[in-house]
Protein backbone atom coordinates (compact mmCIF):
# COMPACT_ATOMS: atom_id res chain seq x y z
CA UNK A 1 0.00 0.00 0.00
CA UNK A 2 1.40 3.42 -0.96
CA UNK A 3 2.06 6.12 1.65
CA UNK A 4 -0.62 8.77 2.20
CA UNK A 5 -0.39 11.98 0.16
CA UNK A 6 1.26 14.63 2.35
CA UNK A 7 -0.44 18.01 1.92
CA UNK A 8 0.16 21.54 3.20
CA UNK A 9 -2.97 23.72 3.49
CA UNK A 10 -2.39 27.45 2.81
CA UNK A 11 -5.22 29.95 3.45
CA UNK A 12 -5.42 33.24 5.34
CA UNK A 13 -8.73 32.23 6.96
CA UNK A 14 -8.36 29.97 10.04
CA UNK A 15 -11.92 28.74 9.46
CA UNK A 16 -11.18 27.76 5.87
CA UNK A 17 -7.87 26.13 6.84
CA UNK A 18 -9.72 24.12 9.46
CA UNK A 19 -12.47 23.06 7.07
CA UNK A 20 -10.06 21.98 4.33
CA UNK A 21 -7.83 20.16 6.80
CA UNK A 22 -10.76 18.33 8.39
CA UNK A 23 -12.14 17.18 5.04
CA UNK A 24 -8.73 16.02 3.81
CA UNK A 25 -7.91 14.28 7.12
CA UNK A 26 -11.10 12.22 6.85
CA UNK A 27 -9.48 10.36 3.95
CA UNK A 28 -7.01 7.72 5.21
CA UNK A 29 -4.87 8.18 2.11
CA UNK A 30 -4.27 11.89 2.81
CA UNK A 31 -2.05 13.27 5.58
CA UNK A 32 -2.34 16.99 6.37
CA UNK A 33 1.22 17.70 7.50
CA UNK A 34 0.77 21.42 8.14
CA UNK A 35 -1.11 24.68 7.72
CA UNK A 36 -0.01 28.21 6.81
CA UNK A 37 -1.81 31.56 6.88
CA UNK A 38 0.27 33.47 4.33
CA UNK A 39 3.07 33.10 1.81
CA UNK A 40 5.87 33.65 4.34
CA UNK A 41 4.57 30.90 6.60
CA UNK A 42 3.96 28.66 3.60
CA UNK A 43 7.51 29.13 2.29
CA UNK A 44 9.00 28.05 5.61
CA UNK A 45 6.56 25.15 5.91
CA UNK A 46 7.42 23.86 2.43
CA UNK A 47 11.12 23.89 3.31
CA UNK A 48 10.54 22.20 6.66
CA UNK A 49 7.83 19.66 5.75
CA UNK A 50 8.52 18.88 2.08
CA UNK A 51 4.84 18.15 1.26
CA UNK A 52 3.74 16.23 -1.82
CA UNK A 53 0.96 18.73 -2.57
CA UNK A 54 0.00 22.28 -1.54
CA UNK A 55 -3.53 23.69 -1.50
CA UNK A 56 -3.24 27.44 -2.03
CA UNK A 57 -5.74 30.26 -1.58
CA UNK A 58 -5.83 32.81 -4.41
CA UNK A 59 -6.39 35.87 -2.22
CA UNK A 60 -3.99 36.28 0.72
CA UNK A 61 -2.33 39.22 2.49
CA UNK A 62 1.28 40.33 1.90
CA UNK A 63 1.71 38.17 -1.22
CA UNK A 64 -1.26 36.87 -3.20
CA UNK A 65 -1.58 33.27 -4.30
CA UNK A 66 -0.62 33.97 -7.92
CA UNK A 67 2.65 35.67 -7.01
CA UNK A 68 3.49 32.90 -4.54
CA UNK A 69 2.61 30.23 -7.10
CA UNK A 70 5.05 31.79 -9.57
CA UNK A 71 7.79 31.59 -6.93
CA UNK A 72 6.98 27.95 -6.21
CA UNK A 73 7.08 27.07 -9.91
CA UNK A 74 10.38 28.87 -10.35
CA UNK A 75 12.19 27.72 -7.22
CA UNK A 76 10.58 24.42 -6.23
CA UNK A 77 8.07 23.09 -8.77
CA UNK A 78 5.44 20.87 -7.15
CA UNK A 79 1.71 20.10 -7.52
CA UNK A 80 -0.43 23.00 -6.29
CA UNK A 81 -4.23 22.98 -6.12
CA UNK A 82 -5.73 26.47 -6.16
CA UNK A 83 -8.69 27.25 -3.91
CA UNK A 84 -10.71 30.15 -5.29
CA UNK A 85 -13.94 32.04 -4.76
CA UNK A 86 -16.63 31.29 -7.36
CA UNK A 87 -16.62 34.82 -8.78
CA UNK A 88 -15.57 36.35 -12.09
CA UNK A 89 -12.47 37.77 -10.43
CA UNK A 90 -11.71 34.42 -8.80
CA UNK A 91 -12.18 32.62 -12.12
CA UNK A 92 -9.78 34.93 -13.97
CA UNK A 93 -7.15 34.51 -11.26
CA UNK A 94 -7.57 30.74 -11.21
CA UNK A 95 -7.17 30.47 -14.98
CA UNK A 96 -3.98 32.49 -14.73
CA UNK A 97 -2.81 30.09 -11.99
CA UNK A 98 -3.52 27.05 -14.14
CA UNK A 99 -1.48 28.57 -16.95
CA UNK A 100 1.38 29.36 -14.57
CA UNK A 101 1.46 25.69 -13.63
CA UNK A 102 -1.12 24.89 -10.94
CA UNK A 103 -2.19 21.24 -11.01
CA UNK A 104 -5.93 21.93 -10.63
CA UNK A 105 -8.46 24.27 -9.06
CA UNK A 106 -11.43 23.99 -6.75
CA UNK A 107 -14.06 26.54 -5.80
CA UNK A 108 -14.77 27.66 -2.24
CA UNK A 109 -18.18 26.40 -1.10
CA UNK A 110 -21.21 28.63 -0.79
CA UNK A 111 -22.74 29.05 2.71
CA UNK A 112 -24.78 25.98 3.64
CA UNK A 113 -23.39 23.80 0.83
CA UNK A 114 -24.04 20.18 1.91
CA UNK A 115 -20.79 18.67 0.58
CA UNK A 116 -18.05 21.32 0.59
CA UNK A 117 -14.83 20.35 -1.18
CA UNK A 118 -16.29 16.90 -1.89
CA UNK A 119 -13.69 16.02 -4.53
CA UNK A 120 -10.66 17.79 -3.03
CA UNK A 121 -9.18 14.62 -1.51
CA UNK A 122 -9.30 12.86 -4.89
CA UNK A 123 -7.58 15.82 -6.53
CA UNK A 124 -4.87 15.83 -3.84
CA UNK A 125 -4.22 12.10 -4.28
CA UNK A 126 -4.09 12.45 -8.06
CA UNK A 127 -1.67 15.36 -7.71
CA UNK A 128 0.58 13.34 -5.40
CA UNK A 129 0.61 10.42 -7.85
CA UNK A 130 1.18 12.56 -10.94
CA UNK A 131 4.49 12.79 -12.73
CA UNK A 132 4.46 16.55 -12.25
CA UNK A 133 5.84 18.75 -14.99
CA UNK A 134 5.86 22.50 -15.32
CA UNK A 135 6.36 23.97 -18.76
CA UNK A 136 5.80 27.64 -17.91
CA UNK A 137 2.88 29.92 -18.63
CA UNK A 138 0.96 29.59 -21.87
CA UNK A 139 0.81 32.64 -24.13
CA UNK A 140 -0.05 33.49 -27.70
CA UNK A 141 3.57 34.44 -28.30
CA UNK A 142 4.94 31.02 -27.31
CA UNK A 143 2.35 28.81 -29.04
CA UNK A 144 1.87 29.64 -32.69
CA UNK A 145 -0.17 27.63 -35.22
CA UNK A 146 1.89 25.55 -37.66
CA UNK A 147 2.57 27.49 -40.84
CA UNK A 148 0.64 25.08 -43.07
CA UNK A 149 -2.68 25.77 -41.32
CA UNK A 150 -2.16 29.40 -40.30
CA UNK A 151 -4.84 30.82 -42.59
CA UNK A 152 -8.22 29.78 -43.91
CA UNK A 153 -6.76 29.67 -47.44
CA UNK A 154 -4.34 26.92 -46.37
CA UNK A 155 -7.07 24.76 -44.78
CA UNK A 156 -10.25 23.63 -46.54
CA UNK A 157 -12.79 22.60 -43.95
CA UNK A 158 -14.89 19.50 -44.54
CA UNK A 159 -18.21 18.48 -42.97
CA UNK A 160 -17.02 16.94 -39.75
CA UNK A 161 -17.81 17.99 -36.17
CA UNK A 162 -15.03 17.89 -33.56
CA UNK A 163 -15.80 16.91 -29.95
CA UNK A 164 -13.17 17.29 -27.21
CA UNK A 165 -13.25 16.19 -23.57
CA UNK A 166 -10.76 17.14 -20.84
CA UNK A 167 -10.37 17.61 -17.10
CA UNK A 168 -7.32 18.08 -14.86
CA UNK A 169 -4.60 19.73 -16.96
CA UNK A 170 -7.15 20.59 -19.61
CA UNK A 171 -6.70 24.37 -19.54
CA UNK A 172 -3.15 24.25 -20.88
CA UNK A 173 -3.96 21.25 -23.10
CA UNK A 174 -6.93 22.98 -24.76
CA UNK A 175 -4.94 26.16 -25.35
CA UNK A 176 -2.21 24.09 -26.99
CA UNK A 177 -4.65 22.27 -29.29
CA UNK A 178 -6.93 25.18 -30.17
CA UNK A 179 -4.17 27.68 -30.89
CA UNK A 180 -3.35 25.45 -33.87
CA UNK A 181 -6.87 25.80 -35.31
CA UNK A 182 -7.36 28.19 -38.25
CA UNK A 183 -10.07 30.83 -38.38
CA UNK A 184 -12.26 28.48 -40.47
CA UNK A 185 -11.93 25.46 -38.19
CA UNK A 186 -14.61 22.76 -38.13
CA UNK A 187 -17.47 23.28 -35.63
CA UNK A 188 -15.98 22.17 -32.31
CA UNK A 189 -17.74 21.31 -29.03
CA UNK A 190 -15.86 20.92 -25.75
CA UNK A 191 -16.61 19.65 -22.28
CA UNK A 192 -13.94 20.63 -19.74
CA UNK A 193 -14.58 19.81 -16.09
CA UNK A 194 -14.67 23.18 -14.32
CA UNK A 195 -16.53 24.84 -11.45
CA UNK A 196 -19.54 27.04 -12.29
CA UNK A 197 -18.66 30.59 -13.43
CA UNK A 198 -15.17 29.54 -14.53
CA UNK A 199 -16.10 28.43 -18.04
CA UNK A 200 -17.25 31.87 -19.20
CA UNK A 201 -13.88 33.35 -18.24
CA UNK A 202 -12.07 30.43 -19.88
CA UNK A 203 -14.07 30.78 -23.11
CA UNK A 204 -13.26 34.50 -23.19
CA UNK A 205 -9.57 33.75 -22.67
CA UNK A 206 -9.54 31.12 -25.43
CA UNK A 207 -11.29 33.59 -27.71
CA UNK A 208 -8.45 36.08 -27.18
CA UNK A 209 -5.74 33.47 -27.74
CA UNK A 210 -7.18 31.56 -30.72
CA UNK A 211 -8.01 32.42 -34.34
CA UNK A 212 -11.58 30.95 -34.35
CA UNK A 213 -14.44 32.39 -32.29
CA UNK A 214 -14.66 30.67 -28.89
CA UNK A 215 -17.78 31.09 -26.76
CA UNK A 216 -19.58 29.46 -23.87
CA UNK A 217 -22.25 27.22 -25.39
CA UNK A 218 -25.84 28.50 -25.37
CA UNK A 219 -28.91 26.31 -25.63
CA UNK A 220 -30.01 26.26 -29.27
CA UNK A 221 -26.80 27.82 -30.68
CA UNK A 222 -26.23 26.55 -34.24
CA UNK A 223 -22.89 24.86 -34.89
CA UNK A 224 -20.95 26.94 -37.39
CA UNK A 225 -17.63 26.71 -39.18
CA UNK A 226 -15.03 28.82 -37.39
CA UNK A 227 -16.71 28.51 -33.98
CA UNK A 228 -15.78 26.60 -30.82
CA UNK A 229 -18.39 25.97 -28.10
CA UNK A 230 -17.37 25.33 -24.46
CA UNK A 231 -19.88 23.63 -22.13
CA UNK A 232 -20.95 25.84 -19.21
CA UNK A 233 -19.68 24.51 -15.90
CA UNK A 234 -21.72 23.05 -13.12
CA UNK A 235 -25.41 22.80 -13.85
CA UNK A 236 -26.14 21.30 -17.31
CA UNK A 237 -24.71 18.83 -19.80
CA UNK A 238 -23.79 19.83 -23.35
CA UNK A 239 -25.20 17.77 -26.22
CA UNK A 240 -25.30 18.20 -29.99
CA UNK A 241 -28.75 17.70 -31.56
CA UNK A 242 -30.68 18.12 -34.84
CA UNK A 243 -28.98 16.33 -37.74
CA UNK A 244 -30.34 18.70 -40.39
CA UNK A 245 -29.00 21.80 -38.59
CA UNK A 246 -26.67 20.73 -35.74
CA UNK A 247 -27.02 22.83 -32.61
CA UNK A 248 -26.06 22.89 -28.94
CA UNK A 249 -28.47 21.58 -26.36
CA UNK A 250 -27.98 22.22 -22.64
CA UNK A 251 -29.56 19.34 -20.75
CA UNK A 252 -30.68 19.60 -17.14
CA UNK A 253 -30.14 16.17 -15.64
CA UNK A 254 -28.15 14.38 -12.95
CA UNK A 255 -24.34 14.21 -13.01
CA UNK A 256 -22.80 11.38 -15.05
CA UNK A 257 -19.57 9.77 -13.78
CA UNK A 258 -19.77 12.34 -11.01
CA UNK A 259 -19.61 15.24 -13.46
CA UNK A 260 -21.94 17.85 -14.87
CA UNK A 261 -21.21 18.60 -17.62
CA UNK A 262 -20.02 15.12 -18.56
CA UNK A 263 -17.78 14.25 -21.49
CA UNK A 264 -19.67 10.98 -21.96
CA UNK A 265 -22.94 12.85 -22.47
CA UNK A 266 -21.35 15.04 -25.14
CA UNK A 267 -19.61 12.16 -26.93
CA UNK A 268 -22.77 10.00 -26.87
CA UNK A 269 -24.75 12.76 -28.57
CA UNK A 270 -22.08 13.34 -31.22
CA UNK A 271 -21.91 9.60 -31.95
CA UNK A 272 -25.67 9.46 -32.49
CA UNK A 273 -25.87 12.68 -34.50
CA UNK A 274 -22.75 12.67 -36.67
CA UNK A 275 -21.42 9.11 -36.79
CA UNK A 276 -18.47 8.96 -39.18
CA UNK A 277 -18.71 12.71 -39.76
CA UNK A 278 -17.06 13.42 -36.43
CA UNK A 279 -13.69 13.42 -34.70
CA UNK A 280 -13.47 12.73 -30.96
CA UNK A 281 -10.53 13.79 -28.80
CA UNK A 282 -9.93 12.85 -25.15
CA UNK A 283 -7.31 14.84 -23.27
CA UNK A 284 -5.69 14.78 -19.84
CA UNK A 285 -7.96 14.23 -16.84
CA UNK A 286 -8.80 12.23 -13.71
CA UNK A 287 -11.18 9.28 -13.78
CA UNK A 288 -12.93 7.70 -16.76
CA UNK A 289 -15.45 10.27 -17.99
CA UNK A 290 -15.55 10.26 -21.79
CA UNK A 291 -13.99 6.84 -22.34
CA UNK A 292 -17.25 4.98 -22.99
CA UNK A 293 -18.57 7.86 -25.10
CA UNK A 294 -15.42 7.91 -27.22
CA UNK A 295 -15.82 4.16 -27.79
CA UNK A 296 -19.39 4.79 -28.91
CA UNK A 297 -18.09 7.42 -31.34
CA UNK A 298 -15.54 4.99 -32.76
CA UNK A 299 -18.17 2.27 -33.15
CA UNK A 300 -20.29 4.83 -35.05
CA UNK A 301 -17.45 5.41 -37.51
CA UNK A 302 -15.86 8.55 -36.06
CA UNK A 303 -12.12 9.12 -36.00
CA UNK A 304 -10.77 9.18 -32.43
CA UNK A 305 -7.63 10.56 -30.78
CA UNK A 306 -6.27 10.17 -27.23
CA UNK A 307 -3.52 12.15 -25.56
CA UNK A 308 -0.50 10.01 -24.73
CA UNK A 309 0.67 9.29 -21.19
CA UNK A 310 3.91 11.26 -21.34
CA UNK A 311 2.22 14.56 -22.24
CA UNK A 312 -0.74 14.20 -19.81
CA UNK A 313 -0.86 15.95 -16.46
CA UNK A 314 -3.08 13.03 -15.37
CA UNK A 315 -3.24 9.96 -17.59
CA UNK A 316 -6.69 8.89 -16.37
CA UNK A 317 -9.43 9.54 -18.91
CA UNK A 318 -7.15 8.87 -21.94
CA UNK A 319 -5.80 5.70 -20.32
CA UNK A 320 -9.26 4.20 -19.77
CA UNK A 321 -10.30 5.17 -23.31
CA UNK A 322 -7.17 3.54 -24.72
CA UNK A 323 -7.72 0.34 -22.69
CA UNK A 324 -11.34 0.13 -23.91
CA UNK A 325 -10.20 0.33 -27.54
CA UNK A 326 -11.83 3.73 -28.03
CA UNK A 327 -8.64 5.44 -29.24
CA UNK A 328 -7.70 5.10 -32.90
CA UNK A 329 -4.55 7.21 -32.57
CA UNK A 330 -2.66 8.08 -29.38
CA UNK A 331 -0.53 11.20 -29.77
CA UNK A 332 1.56 13.70 -27.81
CA UNK A 333 -0.37 16.86 -26.98
CA UNK A 334 1.62 19.01 -29.40
CA UNK A 335 0.59 16.84 -32.38
CA UNK A 336 -3.14 16.55 -31.67
CA UNK A 337 -4.33 19.82 -33.20
CA UNK A 338 -2.60 19.18 -36.50
CA UNK A 339 -3.95 15.61 -36.63
CA UNK A 340 -7.50 16.85 -36.02
CA UNK A 341 -7.15 19.21 -38.96
CA UNK A 342 -5.89 16.41 -41.21
CA UNK A 343 -8.88 14.28 -40.22
CA UNK A 344 -11.40 17.08 -40.83
CA UNK A 345 -10.02 18.70 -43.99
CA UNK A 346 -12.07 18.47 -47.17
CA UNK A 347 -10.77 16.15 -49.82
CA UNK A 348 -9.33 17.77 -52.92
CA UNK A 349 -12.20 16.55 -55.08
CA UNK A 350 -14.79 18.03 -52.69
CA UNK A 351 -15.97 18.07 -49.14
CA UNK A 352 -16.26 14.84 -47.23
Lateral strand order in the sheet of 227-230 = 213-216, 227-230, 188-192, 161-166, 278-282, 303-307, 329-331
Catalytic residue among 52, 104, 130, 193: 193
Give, rounded to a whole angstrom, the gap between the first and last alpha carbons of the chain: 52
Nearest to 317 by CA among 277, 271, 280, 263: 263
In angstroms, the CA 218 to CA 213 distance is 14
Catalytic residue among 21, 167, 201, 262: 167
**Quick one: which H or E segment has residue 138?**
none
In angstroms, the CA 240 to CA 48 distance is 51
Catalytic residue among 289, 308, 311, 322: 289
Q: Give me the phi and psi of 305, to 5 degrees please.
A: -130, 140
In angstroms, the CA 283 to CA 192 distance is 9
Neighbouring-strand partners of residue 193: none
Lateral strand order in the sheet of 80-84 = 30-36, 5-10, 53-57, 80-84, 104-107
Judge whether 311 counts as a catalytic residue. no
**Residue 190: which residues within 8 A CB-CB, separation 6 or more?**
163, 164, 165, 166, 174, 228, 229, 230, 231
Judge whether 26 counts as a catalytic residue. no
Judge whether 167 counts as a catalytic residue. yes
Catalytic residue list: 167, 193, 289
Amino acid sequence: MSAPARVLVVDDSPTMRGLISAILSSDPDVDVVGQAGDAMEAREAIKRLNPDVVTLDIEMPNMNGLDFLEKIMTLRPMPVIMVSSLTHRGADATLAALEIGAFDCIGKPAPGEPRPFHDLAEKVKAAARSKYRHGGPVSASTRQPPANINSENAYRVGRKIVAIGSSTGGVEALITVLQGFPVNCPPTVITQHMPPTFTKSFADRLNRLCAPVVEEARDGARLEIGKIYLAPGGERHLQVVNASAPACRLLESAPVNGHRPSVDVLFDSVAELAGRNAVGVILTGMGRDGAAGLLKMRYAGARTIGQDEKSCVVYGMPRVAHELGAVERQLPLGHIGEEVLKMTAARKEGSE
